[in-house]
Structure 1
Amino acid sequence: MLRRHHHLIRSSLRVLNITLRSSWAPSTTRAFHVSALNKSLNPSLIDKDPTSTTLTAEQTQIERLFSYSNSQSTPLPEKFDRLHAHSLQVYPTTAGKTVSGLQGHFQQMLMRLTKPKSVLELGTFMGYSAMAMADGMPKGGVLYTCEKDPKAARLSRELFEEHAYSPSTKNEGVTRKDTTIEVVEGDGLSSLALLHERNLRFDAVFLDANKGNYVNYYNFILDNNMLTDEGYILADNVLFSGLVLNSEERQRNAAAGSPSSSSKGKSKKKKDAGDGEWNRETFQKFADYIHTFNKHVRDDPRVDVVLLPVFDGLSLIMKRRQ
């Protein structure tokens, strides 16, 4: 999951006060900036350094467009606001890995339109997108979500238990949801192998895990016929802050043995404790993985794809009709 544009966090933006009121979010009031968790409509079309904290006039305008779009859309229920705030509390520097409310609502609408009975998500994090999609699925649907980080997997399980998405929900007075969410803990490829052993196939897949493994995830799903005939894959972050625009030249230079210009002047940005450091070169490396994935899907005769320049780039991938 991409570190979602923390350079857009500015003290001048409107501050929201969210009251946390559940077992997974201790009772307290916490203020946070809109931009901390809400990406602009299309941050990938403006030239910027993803490690920078400077906001240009153009970026400010895009932030305003995002805020307008968000304000003119039907809001998701309060539980999603509380989860965003809780994510910021638990993961103060990487909470932006969660999808924005606007993207979460888009994915929920997509579920309502396509009515998938079985959905796979690679990359749970705190469970926001899983919960948003589950609320849009038809009665009796099951969503399987895979998460490598044990802490995030535990917290998301608690969330799904609290809100009655789990089959084991024991909360009195809480009505069981029509859709079940099952957390599969482990790295993406191992989780896919386990699900394949259970002979599971999916009507929809949301791909939002390790960017370096996007091609491997995609190939495993298609090679093992885990996608139904009318199913689709929605791949997130396929523009990767616009850095994919530099990938072709970098890959040509690498093949020719030339040094990459983007390795100069690295500016480091600290992540959550234990996560190491990010810099522009690291961002560009992951963008190169995404560019390789984009080309791989485009050239795959088994599918049709449309890459949508919204949020941080969403690719909608469907099996080609015979």
Structure 2
Amino acid sequence: MVSPAIALAFIPFLMTLLIRYRYYFLLFWRAVILRKVQDYLTGLSREERAFQYVMTHSIPGDPENILSTFDAWCSHSEYLSNVGPEKGKILERLISENVPLTVLELGTYCGYSALRMARRLSPNARLYTVEMDEGNAALAEKIIRLAGFDEDTVEQIISPSDVVIPHLRERFEVDKFDFVFMNHWKRCYRRDLQLLEDHNLLQEGSIIVADSVIFTGAPHFMQYAKSCGKYSWKIHRTHLEYFRHIWDGMAELTFVGLK
């Protein structure tokens, strides 16, 4: 049995941990504990709860308002791993600067980042967004259409990314992608990048943006991007979505050609 004196000696240490990592504890509370409680009480997933809020409080046909409604929910109610407003603005800027005609998104989730990109596309551009979770894909489809984007602008593909990528050319008649946004499972980043290379879906100058390469990180992806000689790269230092005290980052790669 631990003596009271020893127990008391640990109090300053525990307090130091709580103070130093308080934002990570808050993230754990909102993303895990609160989620499980609300799942039990409502019988809905947090994505479904967010969807209901957005459908109730946003203005149809207004992407800016829909994004702001998402941000309000995620900031004040429950945490969703959307790309968020800070990283979303970087994503939009890169779309505007590069003016891609063919865009691939890996990880639609609730449709938030698809809206960010779609509203900056040129009139003749098209976004293909891939989501493996059928429930999330159904919600995202409604959000994207609510914002006013039709299938000629945003086409959703419901399937695992490693199943989709090898068949993109034959199924969707896409020759090359000018812009790729990765926001799905971090462990899949390197695999899917190499699949895009293997199936000749990138061209010189193609931009690949990968979210959350600092938190939670994608070390194998970054090691490959830095060492393979096929990309120039840089990191956009940002914060975790809806947690301005937790650092995160987005990687921007430019394809310079296969060796």
Q: Which residue of 2 aligns with 1:25?
A: 54
Measure how far apart 1:142 and its partner are: 0.5
Structure 1 gaps, min length 5: 12-21, 30-75, 168-178, 242-286
What residue in structure 2 maps to residue 149 of structure 1? 133
Whole-angstrom CA distance in 2 between matches of 1:104 and 1:5: 22
Check whether the contact 1:6–1:96 (CA below 8 A) recurs between aligned residues: no
Give the structure 2 partner of residue 307 of structure 1.
Answer: 235
SS in 2 for 1:309: strand
Offset, 1:225: 1.4
Aligned-residue offset at 1:208: 1.0
Q: Deviation digits for residues 162-210 of structure 1, max 9, x if unmatched?
A: 222123xxxxxxxxxxx71111101111121231333422100001111
Instruction: Tell me the residue number matched to 1:81.
Output: 68
Q: Match for 1:295: what amino acid?
A: Q
Listed one character per residue, the Cα deviations across residues 16-62 of structure 1 (whole Å, up to 9, x for unaligned) are: xxxxxx98834369xxxxxxxxxxxxxxxxxxxxxxxxxxxxxxxxx
Deviation by residue 1:138-166 (Cα, 9 ceiling, x = unmatched): 11110011111111100111112222212
Residue 100 of structure 1 corresponds to which residue in structure 2?
Answer: 84
2:254 — aligned with what? Answer: 318
Q: CA deviation at 1:77?
A: 2.2
Residue type at the aligned position of 2:124: G
1:7 maps to: 26
Letter in 2 for 1:129: S
Q: Could you say if the C-alpha distance between residues 191 and 24 of structure 1 is closer, same or farther in structure 2, counting changes exceeding 3 Å?
A: farther
- 1:225 is paired with a residue whose SS is coil
Tell me the secondary structure at the aligned position of residue 313 of structure 1: strand
TM-score, normalization: structure 2?
A: 0.69
Structure 2 unmatched runs, 5+: 1-22, 31-50, 240-247
Q: 1:261-286: per-residue Cα shift (whole Å, max 9, x none)?
A: xxxxxxxxxxxxxxxxxxxxxxxxxx
1:247-273 deviation per Cα after TM superposition (whole angstroms, max 9, x unaligned): xxxxxxxxxxxxxxxxxxxxxxxxxxx
Taking the aligned partners of 1:153 and 1:298, their CA distance within structure 2 comes to 33
The equivalent of 2:167 in structure 1 is 194
C-alpha separation between the residues in 2 aligned to 1:307 and 1:88? 25
Q: Write 1 or 2 for the structure with the bigger share of helix.
A: 2
Measure, in 2, the Cα distance between the counterparts of 1:136 and 1:189.
Answer: 27
Name the amino acid aligned to 1:230: G
TM-score by length of 1: 0.56
